Amino acid sequence: MKGPEFDLSQPLGGPRWGEGRRDARSGRMVGEGFLGDTTGSDAAATEIGRIVDRFLTSMRSSIGQVVDVLPIDAEVLAPVRDLARTVDTMLATGDVSALAGLADAVNAAGELLATRITGGYEVDEFGFDEHFHTHVWLPLWRPLFEHWFRVEVIGAENIPAEGAGLIVSNHAGVLPLDGMMTTVAVHDHAGRALRLLAADLAMTLPVSAPLARRAGATLACTADAPPRTRLLDALRADWERDLRADGHTGDVLARRLARGDLLRTSPELIVPFVDDAAGAHDYPDARRAACEETMFTVAGGAAVQSLLVALAARGLGSCWVGSTIFAADTTRRELGLPSTWRPLGAVAVGYPAEPVPPREPRPAGDAYMSVE
């Protein structure tokens, strides 16, 4: 490789720092170092040159190995690759100003490595690791997307920027390459992470299962349903069993079960509990033990009422439903809670669809009773 002012065809990194060829235009020596008028600092400069030489040579080798082995986003490591290729130039010219850029590139790649090593990333309840998905998984497939299949994306603007959405497509072949390409397309052109519906086999094999989970794949089964869905499905089964035992069928049964739909459709659902083991006195007789339980229940109810008032003060609508009280064991089982936790109903929370007018004050006589 030859440039207008230096020649890199000469051997580099030798012990004779300061030897090279003289540039015809500038009169300076280039190659392994520089020769010119001597000063009192030549010895120090020569030693610094040797140190920089050894450092850059070692850095070039190390960076090359890391870049070639690690499956990290090519965009993140591109500056490192580019600067690693210019190390010979730095050695030849003695210009180490690019070290600042190299340090920045190494820091960027180092942050990615540190995030993976130290666990500084979040994994949701289904195993989806967005950091892995963005910086490791997608870069593995992006070269196929861009250079092999050369995918053309049309209509990505129709994908909503937030909220739920369902993408349905045809699949051909055994390997889900089309699914991987769709994942890259949705991420790069719509800014969303596509959660693929995976085959059971992919979620059971020892190697593919953890990769699929981290990449966002899921199963169409109850086990992969959100906790709210699992809880409400189990509660509905309990309610239906009890209502059928009471003799309800047909439209009456359907209407009674439909009352729980509010808990499914509300933007947020709060399930309050009271923990009988958190400071409750253990009385030896049944009377006082029952009173202690009632006291905790009343205290929990007061807390729930305060929650409803606080939500209203912030412009939020809410509705308390007592259904979990009638299926306490089921509620605890589905949420994985200890037996001392007693559910106090459920609170559906959301913003009102339209402004709520203030309530008219009620006459005191309708709400209070005086005892003389």
Per-residue confidence (pLDDT) for residue 92, from 0 to 100: 56
The whole-number average pLDDT for the span 297-304 is 92
Look at the chain and count its residues. Answer: 372
Q: Place 38 in a pLDDT band, splitting at 50, 70 and 90.
A: very low
Per-residue confidence (pLDDT) for residue 28, from 0 to 100: 38
pLDDT over 60 (residue 152): yes
Q: Place 185 in a pLDDT band, splitting at 50, 70 and 90.
A: very high
pTM exceeding 0.85: no
% the chain with pLDDT above 70: 64
Rounded distance between C-alpha atoms, residue 258 and residue 249, angstroms: 13
Per-residue confidence (pLDDT) for residue 23, from 0 to 100: 41
pLDDT over 80 (residue 89): no
Q: How far is CA 130 from CA 53, 210, 350, in A?
A: 40, 14, 27
Which carries the bigger pLDDT value, residue 25 or residue 209? 209
